[in-house]
Chains A and B, each alone.
Chain A
Amino acid sequence: MSATVLHTEVGVSDEKQAAAKSAGRRFGALVVRLGAIAAFAAIMAYFVIFAPGFTSTFNLINVVEQSAILGVLAYGMTAVIIGGGSDVTEGGIDLSIAANMGLCAAVYATLLSMGYGDFLSVMAAIAVGMAVGALNALAVVGLGILPLLATLAVLNVAAGMELTLTQNTVVGASSPLLGVLVSGSFFGISALAWALIVFSAVMIVVVHGTSFGLRLYAVGGHPEAARAAGISVPFYVSFTYVLSGFCAAVASILTVSRLSASTPGSGELLLSVLAAALLGTVFSRRFVPTMGGTLLSVLFIGLLANGFQLLNVSSYWVNGVQGALILLVVAITSFARGSEGSR
């Protein structure tokens, strides 16, 4: 008797098959990605041709300024999705991020109006944002609650606290920092646009240029593999939620500067933030969320709203188009994956 169990030897044909399959998969992914990007490009081209003033420098800078708040929030969301894995039901998500921004804005504006200086007020806003993030981290990492549910509950807490603080009113605010953010400009680019540029650069370098970012992707992509490589998965996941809270606080300062006040209703941004982070994956070769991809989709969403405005199309379409785009991208992606015959 020579062997008790068959040693599995892959034949030539199988290796070729596997190679062909993987080539086919890569091709399919490429088609999906290029298709999605082409769709984005077509929409942009349409605006360039038909929307008056779309390409003017003034208009484009305006779009970048408008996108700053969404962008900063979307980076936080992207980090959470990277670290938690992109399985939406089980994986990382922070539904509380927009409500958290509203709460931070309320704290910031209220403290300013009570006469505390910029420094204290900014610090308080950042502390509140990171505390909410830490609460999410505790719920998700410490207690093992599904991120979807944990952050949904925290959303309510944060939104309720904002309302309690402001009594659902507009809290006006002004300060030297806000003055700079509103009217400051360097090299012809406004401070708000600079904020987005600098924040984007930092996020892209940290997530895509450091070993920290590399490990973060490993934690989200295959937690067991990360653990086997000696990486502390709980630390990285917790970090993303706290970072997300920090992003909410930064965005809150930008939003207060843009409106010269904290206003209710910031929670409505959540859908756009989710859309930006999810749409961003099509810009990535690996179909993972990336900071660069998120930036592109944030700008795309900004240009979409702007183009509609210039074409006199009702802004009520924007949400629906975003929803349809998410469904389209996800359906095509799942179709491309499904055609591998994994099922």
Chain B
Amino acid sequence: MSVSANDNASKASMRGFLAKYSVLIAFAAIVIFFSVASPTFLTPANLFNVLVNNVVMLAIVALGLTIVISSGGIDLSVGVSVDMASMIFVMLLAAGYSGVVGVAGGLGAALIVGILNAILITRLNISPFLATLGVLFIGQSTQQLATSGGQPIYLTSGYAADQFNAIARTALFGIPTPVIVLIVLAVVVHLLLHRSVFGRYVQAMGAQPGVAWYSGIRVPRELSMVHVLCALLAGVTGILLSATVKSYVPLSGNAFLLDAIGATFIGTTLSRERKPSVIGTLLGVLLLAIVKNGLLLVGWNFYWQQVGIGVLVFLVLAASFGLRRAAH
């Protein structure tokens, strides 16, 4: 408001351009750097490995968080959704149930977490941060109690388990199955968030909840849907995780939280309006995965990787918020 509108708009769009391309340029620089630094980085085998092991599961969780963050909320309990789906899935398979029952049970467990979040947020008017924080506490306790303090459950044998493991590790037309799952989910979430009526309502709630309510939008219902969808997507990751490692390791889902939030916010810096978007989030996940993998290949150990990722997320947040502040 302080400068003339024209001037302001052009400056803002220039900054938008800068923000957009600075991340892309950084992205390209990182890829080039690692290709030079490590001969194995750009090999198909390595990229395949990155895609399957570092991208797919994180990306699916991040898709869910993208929906929640678009609605103006946050879900700190995505890890719980991952874990609960993983736990029930593995328990059912271990008890000899078929794969269909296992998947249904796992998704059902995630659904319950989502519904719990939705009730706390829309019925009891608890802020998303506190509600999902509380669910995070309770979810951790539940897992510890169910596994006598965090003992992993392994799927030693059994038809269903092997079948799932096989699916997780095979490819369809040369594309790994988990990647196909991701592509399908990404397309669905993209259409939902950016093309559907529901997505428009989500954006409106995120931009100004009062306006959404005054426009006749059923805010509580839409918000419940947002949290249920997020939990379900995290549940899919939980099942993929268990199918891949043939086990359930308690409290392992929390590792996704920071990376998924980071990826979503990297994505917002890429979008013109600085809003979360599916494509942005996927690029964010890819960036994080490539940096992690590259750091590993050039010899950084796991601990330094964590520092590196933290610094990267910090810098992206700084760029995103700093530019937003400068634009106002």
Instruction: Tell me, yes or no, whether A and B come into direct contact in the complex with CB atoms closer than 8 A.
Output: yes
Chain A positions within 8 Å of B, measured between CB atoms, are: 87-89, 139, 143-146, 148-150, 152-161, 163-164, 167-168, 271, 274-275, 278, 314, 316-324, 326-327, 330-331, 334-335, 338
Known: A143-B325, A278-B130, A314-B145. A156 touches B309 (CB 8 A): yes
CB–CB A331/B126 < 8 A: yes
Q: A89 to B262: give the CA distance in the assembly, Å.
A: 16
Distance between B79 CB and nearest chain A CB, rounded to angstroms: 12
- Interface of chain A, main secondary structure: helix
Nearest-Cβ distance from residue A67 to partner chain B, whole angstroms: 19
Q: Is the CB of B133 within 8 A of A323?
A: yes
B141→A159 contact, CB < 8 A = no
Besides A156-B313, A160-B305, A330-B126, 12 more A-B contacts (Cβ < 8 Å) are A143-B318, A149-B317, A153-B314, A156-B258, A164-B304, A275-B137, A314-B144, A314-B145, A319-B141, A320-B142, A326-B130, A327-B135
Collect the chain B residues with CB atoms within 8 Å of residue A271's CB: 133, 136-137, 140
In angstroms, Cα B137 to Cα A148, docked, is 17
* CB–CB B307/A161 < 8 A: yes
CB distance from B200 to the nearest CB of A (A): 22
**Complex: A167 Cα to B302 Cα, angstroms:** 10
Residues of A within 8 A of B137 (CB): 271, 275, 319-320, 322-324, 326
Query: Is B299's beta carbon under 8 Å from chain A?
Result: no
Query: Is B126 within 8 A of A327, CB to CB?
Result: yes
Complex Cα distance A316/B307, Å?
30
Contact A163–B261 (Cβ < 8 Å): no
Interface string of B51-88 (1 = CB under 8 A from A): 00000000000000000000001100000000000000
Contacts of A145 in B (CB 8 A): 317-318, 320-321
CB distance from B65 to the nearest CB of A (A): 12
| B130 proximity list for chain A (CB < 8 A) | 88, 278, 326-327, 330
- A149–B74 Cα distance when bound, in Å, is 11
Is B127 an interface position by the 8 A CB rule? yes
The B133-187 residues at the A interface (CB cut-off 8 A) are 133-138, 140-142, 144-145, 149
> Nearest Cβ in chain A — how far from B117, in angstroms?
11
What residues of B have a CB within 8 angstroms of the CB of A157 in the complex?
A: 307, 310-311, 314
Question: Chain A residues near B308 (CB, 8 Å)?
Answer: 160
Question: Given the complex of chains A and B, what is the CA–CA distance between A331 and B262 in angstroms?
Answer: 29
